[in-house]
C-alpha cells in the first residue's frame, strides 16, 4: 500500500489560559516508504484527555511538553496496513501513543497489539485503557478502597469518574458524585446506579449539597477537579479518610496562581491521607486490572459512554470540549 500523505494536528502556539482553535493547525505530511522491520499504521481512533493541556506548557513535568510545529501525541488505536516486520503482520490492531495523525511508521517497540476480544477496539482507549486503569489504580492502590466506604467522586460522568463510580459500587460502597448538568446526573443515577448526585452548576452552596449527598461523611474522595470541590470535601471527610488526587481540571487553564484551600488543616485534624498519582507509575498492575474489568464487562456489570467527533480535523474541537463539559464518558475522535 502506498500512502502519499498523512494529515496531522500540530501545536501552532502555546496557549495562555483556555486554548482556542488557533493553537492548532492541520498539516499534510509526506509518508516515507517502509524500511525493513517497519510497519505503516493507519489510526482508526484517537483519544483526547485533560492531561494534554499541561503538555502544552513549556515546563518540566512527568511527561515532556509538546513541541511547537510538531504533531501532538496521545492514545490511539490503529491497524497495520503495510508491514515489513514479521511480528506485526498486516491487519494487526495496535494501541500506541501516536494519535493526532492519520498514519505513522513504527519499528514496533511503541506498539501494543490488542487482544482478541468481543469488546470494541476503542474500549482500549477508555474503560480498558488509561482512564479505566486510572480509576482502578486510584481507588485500589492509592485510596485503598474497602467495602462499606463512603465514596465521593468529582467530575463523576467523565471517562475516569464514571469508572470510579462503578468500581466503588461493585466493591460494596456508598457512592456519590458531582456533575455539571441534569442530563449527566440522570445518567449517574439511572444507568450507573450511584446513590446521590450533586449538580455543582445549579447547587449554590456546594458544601451543603455534598454534605446532603453524603449524610454519613466521606471516607474516600476521588479528586478530578480541585478548587472549591476540594475545599468543600475536606470539611466533610471522615477521620482517617483517603483522597486520591487524579487531576485538578479547575486549574489547568489558569493564567495566575490559584490560592489553595483555606482549610488544609483538616488534613491534620481528621488524620487524612491525600496523595497524588500518575497512572503510568502503576502500570505493572495493568494485567490484574484487565482481568477484573474484562470479567465485569462479560458479566454485564459495567457500562460506559463515548462522545465521538468524526475526522482528524475535529480533534481540536474534541479536546476543547473537555473544558466546557461537552462529553459524557470518554471523548474520542474517529479517524476512519
pLDDT tens sequence across 69-124: 999 999 999 999 999 999 999 999 999 999 999 999 999 999 999 988 889 999 99
pLDDT surpasses 80 at 311: yes
Single out the residue of 159, 145, 174, 170 nearest to residue 295, CA to CA. Answer: 170
| 332 has pLDDT over 70 | yes
Q: What is the pLDDT of residues 2-55, one digit of tens each?
A: 688 999 999 999 999 999 999 999 999 999 999 999 999 999 999 999 999 999
d(CA 50, CA 64): 15
- Mean pLDDT value across the chain: 95
Sketch out the chain's domains with CATH numbers: 5-126+304-334 (3.90.180.10), 130-280 (3.40.50.720)
Q: Give the whole-number percent of the chain exceeding pLDDT 90.
A: 92
Cα dihedral value 295, 297, 298, 299, nearest 10: 90
Judge contact between 305 and 279, C-beta under 8 A. Answer: no
Angstrom CA distances, 193 to 117, 140, 154, 168, 188, stand at: 27, 20, 16, 11, 6
pLDDT in tens, 211-248: 999 999 999 999 999 999 999 999 999 999 999 999 99
127: nearest Cα among 160, 151, 155, 175: 160
Q: In the chain, pLDDT over 70 holds for what percent of residues?
A: 99
Rounded to whole angstroms, what are the CA distances from 62 to 10, 150, 270, 331? 21, 31, 30, 23
Provide the 10 A C-beta neighbour count for residue 171: 16
How large is the average pLDDT for residues 148-153?
98
pLDDT at 169 over 80: yes
More confident residue, 62 or 181: 181
Cα 232 to Cα 179, 208, 247, distances in angstroms: 15, 8, 16
- Over 80: is that where the pLDDT of 1 sits? no
Q: Give the pLDDT of residue 336.
A: 76
More confident of the two residues 282 and 1: 282
Is residue 278 over pLDDT 80? yes
pLDDT number for residue 314? 97
The pLDDT, as a whole number, for residue 258 is 84
**Spatial distance between the Cα atoms of 275 and 319, rounded to a whole number of angstroms:** 27
Q: List 104's β-bridge partners, or say none.
A: 41
184 vs 17, 99, 326, CA distance in Å?
26, 28, 11
Q: Does the pLDDT value for residue 250 go beyond 90?
A: no
pLDDT of residue 135: 98
pLDDT at 251: 86
Q: What is the pLDDT of residue 4?
A: 84
Check if the beta carbon of residue 217 is closer than 8 Å to that of residue 199.
Answer: no
In this prediction, residue 156 carries a pLDDT of 97
Amino acid at each position: 500500500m502506498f500512502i502519499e500523505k498523512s494529515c496531522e494536528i500540530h501545536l501552532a502556539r502555546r496557549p495562555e489560559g483556555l486554548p482556542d482553535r488557533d493553537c492548532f493547525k492541520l498539516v499534510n505530511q509526506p509518508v516515507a516508504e517502509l524500511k525493513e522491520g517497519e510497519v505503516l499504521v493507519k489510526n482508526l481512533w484517537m483519544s483526547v484527555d485533560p492531561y494534554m493541556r499541561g503538555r502544552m506548557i513549556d515546563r518540566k513535568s512527568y511527561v515532556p511538553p509538546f513541541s511547537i510545529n510538531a504533531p501532538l501525541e496521545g492514545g490511539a488505536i490503529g491497524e497495520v496496513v503495510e508491514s515489513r516486520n514479521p511480528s506485526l503482520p498486516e491487519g494487526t490492531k495496535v494501541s500506541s501513543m501516536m494519535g493526532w495523525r492519520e498514519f505513522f511508521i513504527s519499528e514496533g517497540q511503541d506498539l501494543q497489539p490488542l487482544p482478541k476480544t468481543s469488546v470494541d477496539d476503542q474500549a482500549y482507549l477508555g474503560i480498558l485503557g488509561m482512564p479505566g486503569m486510572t480509576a482502578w489504580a486510584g481507588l485500589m492502590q492509592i485510596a485503598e478502597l474497602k467495602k462499606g466506604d463512603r465514596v465521593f467522586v468529582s467530575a463523576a460522568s467523565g471517562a475516569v469518574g464514571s469508572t470510579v463510580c462503578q468500581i466503588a459500587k461493585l466493591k460494596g460502597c456508598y457512592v456519590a458524585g458531582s456533575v455539571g448538568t441534569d442530563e449527566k446526573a440522570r445518567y449517574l443515577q439511572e444507568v450507573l446506579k450511584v446513590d446521590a448526585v450533586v449538580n455543582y452548576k445549579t447547587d449554590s452552596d456546594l458544601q451543603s449539597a455534598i454534605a446532603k449527598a453524603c449524610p454519613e461523611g466521606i471516607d474516600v474522595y476521588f479528586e478530578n477537579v480541585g478548587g472549591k470541590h476540594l475545599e468543600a470535601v475536606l470539611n466533610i471527610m471522615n477521620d482517617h479518610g483517603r483522597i486520591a488526587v487524579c487531576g485538578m481540571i479547575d486549574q489547568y487553564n489558569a493564567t495566575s496562581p490559584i490560592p489553595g484551600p483555606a482549610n488544609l488543616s483538616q488534613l491534620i485534624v481528621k488524620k487524612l491521607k491525600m496523595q497524588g498519582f500518575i497512572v503510568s507509575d502503576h502500570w505493572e498492575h495493568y494485567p490484574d486490572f484487565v482481568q477484573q474489568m474484562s470479567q465485569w464487562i462479560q458479566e454485564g456489570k459495567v457500562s460506559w459512554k463515548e462522545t465521538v467527533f468524526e475526522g482528524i480535523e475535529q480533534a481540536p474541537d474534541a479536546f476543547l470540549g473537555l473544558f466546557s463539559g461537552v462529553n459524557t464518558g470518554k471523548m474520542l475522535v474517529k479517524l476512519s
